[in-house]
Chains A and B, each alone.
Chain A
């Protein structure tokens, strides 16, 4: 005889339920699991679960010498690999009080900015895709390819370069570097108009993003949201302006600040940053001084015992490297303050009360890279 179970009848309209977005979900851009608590279509709260791609990079750093650490930082935020390398290089150079040649500073700054453009291009692709515009993906990747070709010509690889070493560069830039970068800037100035035509001006995209996913300046500061996402809320946090490194103190560029802090503003921040990056490159590319591509360094680098901190502006926000050295050739402890981790922490706050479809857009506008969150 079948047993009849009387379940209590609930009002499904009012009941809160949980769904897992991820770890395998196209809109999380990696293995991030968001446990979203929904009421109907409205997001009530959300819990990010990280750690699916945790590789223990900070622990691995403790057994590696300083030049060896560089290649691990590539693998955190792989879309701004050069900038991550730069952070560790600057830290070691600061600790050892090494003066790197002017040429290295110029080249590093140009390459960082190229890397930032490439990263924002890929973000634009995936943001367009999150909003349902698959076409964007191909246009963005087409232009990103040009930058990757420049990188490949000079440093031999496209994504994970490991091309900086403490004291300078692994190898000098290719003789055609300047010519190709100038050609790229000219090309991209033209093509970025396509981006505006395709997505920025699109009314459907604007209606879905304007006034959605608000983050106030106070909240941006207290969650530590930096980078374009933080600046969209009016939080002036550009490390390149406030703590210049490389040759950022010699170039003229604007720190673009938003006012509203909605999804659309975060979108516009990155579009405008690409223009600013191109301006920075244009000011530097003709003035690269001649000289060595690396300072003379000892074969074994030993940092004097003590604590060091260095920050750089990665394409998603402030990347901090904190290092305790006990005088050995490997660090005693290495800690990375990754921008994406802090940016992700604000996601719950931003997305309370929005529709689930807008959550995808908000996530896209925060532009998180999961390996950087988990490290």
Chain B
């Protein structure tokens, strides 16, 4: 007798608990303003990332196509996985001395782990985080970027 009672009590409790759960889903079904889904590719125009978002490492240039990189190579040593390659050039200064400048600052985006050590280590604040995040390309060689723009030079007031 008792076990039959328990049997039906179990069924009753199970149905009740299922209905409690379905109440939650039902509530959200009828309150569409609580839906949080972002329609990603459609909202590309309005999508704004947070200011500190780590999309990629960039080298900001000013209006005169000037950057702050001295080519010292500290970021190259700070990087844990060889993502950055610094290729230096030597130029002749007017006073006859030779000066070392950056020729190419190569950044292999495909290897970057976004740890931020290069940006922290750079003594002249030449690097920053960029907001771009759509990095999918068909050929991985496209992920090797040169951060200093062609023809760019260093801002005059940077001292080494």
Contact B80 A71 (CB under 8 A): yes
B20 lies within 8 A of A162 (CB) = no
- Report the minimal beta-carbon distance from B31 to chain A, rounded to whole angstroms: 13
Which of A126-153 touch B at CB < 8 Å?
Answer: 135, 139, 142, 145, 152-153
> Which residues of A sit under 8 angstroms from B129, Cβ to Cβ?
156
| A interface residues, how many (CB within 8 angstroms) | 30
B residues contacting A by CB (< 8 A) are 10, 13-14, 16-18, 20-21, 23-25, 36, 50, 52-54, 78, 80, 113-117, 120, 129
Assess whether A162 is in contact with B21, with CB atoms less than 8 Å apart. no
* Interchain CA distance A199-B117 in the complex, whole Å: 43
| Contact B116 A170, beta carbon cutoff 8 Å | yes
A1 CB to nearest chain B CB (Å): 57
> B115 contacts which of A71, A139, A201 (Cβ < 8 Å)?
A71
Q: Residue on B with the closest CB to A202?
A: B17
Q: List 21 A-B contacts (CB under 8 A).
A: A68-B117, A71-B80, A71-B115, A71-B117, A72-B80, A152-B52, A152-B53, A153-B50, A155-B52, A156-B52, A156-B114, A160-B114, A162-B116, A171-B52, A199-B21, A201-B17, A201-B21, A202-B20, A202-B21, A203-B14, A203-B17
Q: Interface SS of chain A: helix, strand, loop or mixed? A: helix
Whether B24 contacts A197 by the Cβ 8 Å rule is yes
Residue from B16, B17, B21 whose CB has the most chain A CB atoms within 10 Å: B21
Q: Smallest distance from the beta carbon of B28 to chain A beta carbons, Å?
A: 8
Q: By the criterion CB–CB under 8 Å, are A70 and B50 in contact?
A: no
Q: How far is the CA of A368 from the CA of B53 in the complex (A)?
A: 29
Chain A residues in 8 Å Cβ range of B24: 139, 194, 197-198
A159 nearest CB across to chain B (Å): 10
Question: A152 contacts B21, CB within 8 Å?
Answer: no
- Complex Cα–Cα for A152 and B20 (A): 35
Q: Specify the chain A residue showing the minimal Cβ separation from B116.
A: A170
Report chain B residues within 8 Å CB of A157: 53-54, 114
Number of A-B contacts (CB under 8 A): 70
Contact of B52 among A64, A68, A174, A199 (CB under 8 A): A174
Shortest distance from the beta carbon of B133 to any chain A beta carbon, whole Å = 11
Cα of A64 to Cα of B23 in the assembled complex, Å: 53
Q: How far is the CA of A139 from the CA of B36 in the complex (A)?
A: 10
A15, B140: Cα distance in complex, Å:
52
Residues of chain A within 8 A (CB-CB) of B78 are 68
Tell me if B18 and A156 are in contact (CB < 8 A).
no
**Residue among B14, B16, B17 with max Cβ neighbours from chain A (10 Å):** B17
* B36 in contact with A197 (CB, 8 Å): no
Q: Which residue of A lies closest to B36 (CB)?
A: A142
Report Cα–Cα, A202/B20, bound state, in Å.
8
A residues in contact with B36, CB < 8 Å: 142, 145
Q: Determine whether the beta carbon of B114 is less than 8 Å from that of A64.
A: no
Distance in Å: Cβ of B157 to nearest Cβ of chain A:
24
Q: Which residues of B contact A197 (CB under 8 A)?
A: 20-21, 23-24
Q: A71-B115, A160-B114, A162-B114 are in contact. Are A170 and B17 (CB under 8 A)?
A: no
Find the A residue at minimum CB distance from B50: A153
Shortest distance in angstroms between B6's beta carbon and chain A's nearest beta carbon? 13
Asked if B17 and A160 make an inter-chain contact with CB atoms under 8 angstroms apart, the answer reads: no
B37 to chain A, nearest CB (A): 9
Check if A160 sits within 8 Å of B116, measured CB to CB.
no
Contacts of B54 in A (CB 8 A): 156-157
Contacts of A71 in B (CB 8 A): 80, 113, 115, 117
- A202 to B16 Cα, complex, angstroms: 9
Give Cα A142–Cα B35 distance, bound, in whole angstroms.
Answer: 9
